[in-house]
Amino acid sequence: MIPALVWPVVEFLGGTYHWQTIGQEHLDRLAEARRPFILAFWHGRILSNMLYFRDRGIVALISENFDGEWITEVCRHFGFRAIRGSTSRGGARALVQMKRELARGHSVLVTPDGPRGPARVAQPGAVWLAGASGCPILPVRAEARRHRTARSWDRHQVPSPGATVTIVIGPPIDVPPDADDATLEAKRLELENSLNAPVRV
Q: What's the CA gap between 68 and 82, in Å, rounded? A: 10
Q: Note the pLDDT of residue 37.
A: 98
Instruction: Provide the pLDDT for residue 2.
Output: 67
Q: What is the pLDDT along the chain (201 residues), one digit of tens a residue?
A: 666 778 899 999 999 999 999 999 999 999 999 999 999 999 999 999 999 999 999 999 887 765 667 788 888 999 999 998 765 555 788 889 999 999 999 999 999 997 888 999 999 999 999 999 999 999 999 999 999 999 999 999 999 999 999 999 999 999 999 999 999 999 999 999 999 999 988
DSSP, collapsed to helix, strand or coil, labels residue 54 as: coil
Instruction: Give start and end residues of each alpha helix (H) in the chain.
Output: 2-16, 24-32, 46-52, 66-77, 91-103, 125-133, 181-196
pTM: 0.93
Task: Return the pLDDT at 5.
Answer: 79
Contact 35, 135 (CB under 8 A): yes
Residue 4 to residue 38: CA distance in whole angstroms: 29
